[in-house]
Every structure is written in structure tokens, then in C-alpha cells.
Homo-oligomer: A and B are copies of this chain.
Amino acid sequence: MAAEQDPEERAAARPLLTDLYQVTMALGYWRAGRARDPAEFELFFRHCPFGGAFALAAGLRDCVRFLRTFRLRDADVQFLASVLPPDTDPAFFEHLRALDCSGVTVRALPEGSLAFPGVPLLQVSGPLLVVQLLETPLLCLVGYASLISTNAARLRLIAGPEKRLLEMGLRRAQGPDGGLTASTYSYLGGFDGSSNVLAGQLRGVPVAGTLAHSFVTAFSGTEVPPDPMLAPAAGQGPRVDLAACVEVWLERVCAYMGLGVQEPHPGERAAFVAYALAFPRAFQGLLDTYSVRRSGLPNFLAVALALGELGYHAVGVRLDSGDLLQQAQEIRGLFRTTAAQFQVPWLESIPIAVSNNIDEGELARLAQKGSEVNVIGIGTSVVTCPGQPSLGCVYKLVSVGGQPRMKLTEDPEKQTLPGSKAAFRLLGSDGSPLLDVLQLAEEPPPQAGQDLKVWPRGAQEPCIVRPAHVQSLLRLWVQQGQLCEPLPPLAESRALAQLSLSQLGPTRRRLEQPELYQVALSEKLQALVERLKAPGPQ
């Protein structure tokens, strides 16, 4: 796997990828002399996606990349000047020109952590003007990354640990970076790899891919390869004319399958031979361009058996239409009898890969006990998250000038939790999470083995909980613009996601009608909320 190495100048987001109101508010703050007031925002979601009881935190690596390169170029400032009032004080634009994130501090859940409603994915503090400007890009970077990781984790839970899951949805993604984000974070969420080459190059995601129908239809069978000769796998012995050898095997295979030798499409066979000449050690057959049983299978077997004579073992077959489960069973059966017939045991276990609009329901069918499917390619359903295409994250001001802030509003759903906070996960003796607690930053952390009185969100009464272990959730990643520790490699975050999910417990992990996980407030935070909700100016 290549190292993660996105050249910094290609950070996915840039400062003007923001809502105009961030800029108008920036001018408002500046005009009010408040641009540098210390402020803190929290980024969180209000409901777990897809009707589940968990989400995975992700997107931090993109946020850090964005913050480290955050600078308005001259052209950016000029554009802003063109949309702001013509009599705007030029000193404001000087302020913008000098802006960077050297005053910004970020605490966050590590990527791959379990995340729950109201618990900050990110806490962002720094000068009011700049942390306000960051709102939209951070929401954009965290929301989709967390959504796609969660979606991928659900699909992995359905598929079980054995099936190989490949993300191949770039063509269906909502925009190019959407595709890159999807490939990166579906891997984090539990997929094994992606078809997306850029995700391999920039993010170190394992990439996979062989051939499409267009390759098969590009051959008619009359083409003459410039060099049909192939050397044996071991490197010893004379080179062999692969195409000729395939024709010999075709007769034997057709006789065994009860097919006429003219039935399998010669163009498909020529395409398989061309592919096998280029990838003798990684030959895969795409079976359904013409007819799986009467063309794809005999052609594949002829090529695979010819390669086998030279010591090469085909790596798989792929199906992209029809009843995938049923066909996989039939194909496995044919592979078994053919392996016995021609005494080539390696043929029995050739991986069967499938794709074609696979969603959660179809995946469950393909992953059922006894299924002969080995590799499952998923596109649209993983990258576009059709069950819920947005996580709906928000970014809310919780304190300014050291004073807690709260949006009250008449819609209780939209009320926010005030104050600079810490977040803890209380764990049982088996390491499974019991509930998350939000408290004011100045409070002492909960103690393992001690009773704690907390207010579950939405409850009228407090409850007592005694954790066996206590985990601090928000880690300091960026302090005053400086990265405090390197972000873990993507594969490490992926492992954390799988570990976290395994500890969650089956009733909360299940995908439909799960037991909800509680988030609670400390007594002091609850009291602050009540105080700020009381009528009258604060």
C-alpha cells in the first residue's frame, strides 16, 4: 500500500468553499471590534443515520489538511471585495489577507471512534472571525466522511468478516472529491479496498480491478495478437501460443459441458486471451457479456485451463447481472466437477466476484450461510448513501470571550448545549460502552468505580451510573495551528472502527430497531442549561 501523500496544495477544500454568510458575518464581527474574541464551536450531529444507533467519526484528516493550508489568496480577497459593499473598509480586506489558522485549536474524536448524537466530533476554538469562517468547509469535510464510514460499517456488519467488500462507486459519486472521499472512508468503515486509483495514490487505499464489458465487446475474434506467446509461470521451458492452446482446451470444455464448440463467443474468448497475456498471474473472467453458461463460462474455463498448464492460476470470475447468488452456486458446482474432471484442484476455489446495484437487502442475501460468493463490489449504495444521503451535522457556537452561549429557539430540537465541554465514555467491566457524558471543561473527570449522577438527554430525572472504566473522548490534535501528533494511518483508524463496533454489543450494533445509546449531561452542565433557558437577559 502506498503511503498517504496528498500534496498539500491539493487539499480537498479551500477557504472560499464556504457560505457567503460566513464572510458577511466576518465583516460584522470585524466592524464590531470582535474579530479576535476567543470563541469555541462544536461540530456534532443530532441523530444517528440510517435508523441505527451508532455512527463512526471520520474526516479529521481532511480537516487538518485544510486548516494547515488555510490562506486567502489575493484573487480570493478580490472576489470577496466584489460581493461585499463597495464602501467596505479596506482594513477588513487586509485582515482577511493576513488570516491563517495559527490561532486555531482543534479537539476531536479519533477517526474510527463510535460517535453519538450531541457529542462533539470536533471542538474548534480560536479567534471568532476565523473559526466562524471554518464552519462550512469543516461541516462538508466531516459530515460526508462520517456518513460514508458509518454506511460502510453497516454493510460490513451485514456481510460478516469473511466476504471481501470492494467499493466501486466512483462513477456514481456526487462530484469528483465525493468519489475520493467515498473511497477513502468506506475503507475506514470496513471495506477491503476500492476501484478508485486516486484513492490508492493519495490515501493508500488498496485498489482492485480487472476488466469491463467494453473490453470484451472490443474484440470480435478475428484480431491477431502481435505476440500470442506466453512463457511458463516458473520461467523454465519454451513459450507457448496461448490462443492456440485455448482452442484445444475449448473443445475439451465444450464436450464436457455439452455445448457446441461454436457456441462460445469468439470475441469474448479473444478478449480473455488478450487479458490473460497481459495478466497471466491475475486472470479474471467477466462472464456475462453474452451468455454466462453458453459463452462466458466455457471461454473462461478454456483460458484458465490453458493458463493452468503453464502453471498460472486464474484469480477469479465476475458477474454483473442476473441472480448473483443462484449463479454463484451453479458456477461453484461447475468449478468443482470441472476440477475433478480435469484434475485441477485449484479450480474449485476460484473466487467468485459479483456486482450490480447491491444494497443492504441484496448484500444480506449474498452473504447468507452457504453462499458461494467471495467478493462483493458495491457502488451506488455505498457512495451515495441512498438510505440517508446526509448526516446533517451542525457547527454551533458554545462560548465566546469565555462566556457560555446557547441557541434557545422555540424548536427544542434545535437548542444547543452551552459552554466549553469535555466528553467521556463510561465503560462496563467488559469494556463495552455504557453511556457518554458531556460536562463542563472545568469539571473533574468521572472516576472509574465511583457513582456518578448524570442527566440523560431528554430525561426528566437524573440517574446514577458507576463505570468500570472511563475514556476521555476528545483528543487535542491541533493546538494554536500546530499539529500535536501525527494522524494515525488510515488502516489504523479502520482497525479502531472494527474494534469499537465489536465492543458496542449486539443490541446496539444491530441495524434495525437497535437499542439506543444514551448521552447524558453532568449535573453542572444540566444546571447551566436550565439557567440559560430561564427567561430574561443572561
Which residues of A does B touch, CB under 8 Å? 2, 12-14, 16-25, 27-34, 37, 39, 41, 75-76, 79-80, 82-83, 85, 128, 132, 135-137, 139-141, 143-144, 148, 168, 170-182, 195-198, 200-201, 207-221, 223, 225-227, 262, 265-267, 271, 274-275, 277-279, 281-282, 288-292, 321-322, 380, 383-386, 388-390, 392-393, 395-397, 400, 403, 405-411, 414, 536-538
Point out the residues of chain B lying under 8 angstroms from A220, CB to CB. 403, 537-538
Candidates B80, B177, B201, B223; contact of A79 at CB < 8 Å: B201
Give A21 Cβ to nearest chain B Cβ, in Å.
3
Find A279's partner among B37, B85, B403 (CB 8 Å cutoff): B85
Question: Would you call B266 and A200 a contact (CB within 8 A)?
Answer: no
A174→B384 contact, CB < 8 A: yes
Q: Is the CB of A19 within 8 A of B281?
A: no
Max chain B C-beta neighbours (<10 A), residue from A25, A321, A538: A25
A274-B32, A411-B322 known; A217 vs B405 contact (CB < 8 Å) = yes
Nearest 7 interchain pairs by C-beta:
A20-B209, A175-B178, A21-B209, A384-B389, A139-B171, A177-B177, A174-B174
Q: Are A385 and B396 in contact (CB under 8 A)?
A: no
Identify the closest chain B residue to A278 (Cβ): B31
24 contacting pairs across A/B (C-beta < 8 A): A12-B175, A17-B198, A18-B170, A18-B196, A21-B211, A23-B197, A24-B279, A25-B211, A27-B278, A28-B277, A28-B278, A28-B279, A32-B278, A76-B201, A83-B197, A132-B214, A139-B171, A171-B395, A174-B389, A175-B175, A221-B537, A262-B537, A380-B390, A386-B390
Residue of B nearest to A202 (CB): B16
Bound form: Cα–Cα A214–B26 in Å: 11
Check B281–A31 contact: CB distance below 8 A: no
- A137's contact among B27, B176, B403, by CB below 8 Å, is which? B176
- Alpha-carbon separation in the docked complex, A406 to B498 (Å): 44
Contact A226 B33 (CB under 8 A): yes
A20 B200 Cβ-Cβ under 8 A = yes
Cross-chain contact of A384 among B80, B179, B390 (Cβ < 8 A): B390
A370 to chain B, nearest CB (A): 24
Do A410 and B292 touch across chains, with their CB atoms under 8 A apart?
yes
Q: Which residues of B contact A384 (CB under 8 A)?
A: 174, 389-390
Structural contact, A211 and B28, CB atoms closer than 8 A: yes
- In angstroms, how far is the closest chain B Cβ from the Cβ of A280? 8
Instruction: Report A282 CB to chain B, min CB distance, Å.
Output: 7
Q: Is the CB of B409 within 8 A of A321?
A: yes
B residues less than 8 Å from A79 (CB atoms): 2, 197, 200-201
- Cβ A24 vs Cβ B209 within 8 A: yes
What are the residues of chain B within 8 A of A136 when measuring CB–CB?
170-171
Q: How far is the CA of A22 from the CA of B83 in the complex (A)?
A: 43
**Whole-angstrom distance between the Cβ of A294 and the nearest chain B Cβ:** 9
| Docked complex Cα distance between A478 and B383 (Å) | 31
In the complex, what residues of B have CB within 8 A of residue A175's CB?
A: 12, 140, 144, 173-182
For the complex, give the distance between the alpha carbons of A537 and B79 in Å: 61
The answer to whether B397 and A218 have CB atoms under 8 Å apart is yes
Query: Does A392 lie within 8 Å of B410, measured CB to CB?
Result: no
Which listed residue (B201, B266, B321, B414) contacts A321, Cβ 8 A? B414
Shortest A293–chain B CB gap in Å is 9
Residue from the list B137, B198, B281 in contact with A14, Cβ < 8 A: B198
A335 smallest CB distance to B (angstroms): 20
Tell whether, in the assembled complex, residue B28 and residue A195 are in contact, meaning their CB atoms are under 8 Å apart: no
Would B265 and A210 count as touching, CB distance under 8 A? no
Are B389 and A385 touching (Cβ within 8 A)? yes
**Complexed CA–CA distance, A13 and B21 (Å):** 28
Given A178-B175, A385-B389, A214 contacting B32 (CB threshold 8 A): no
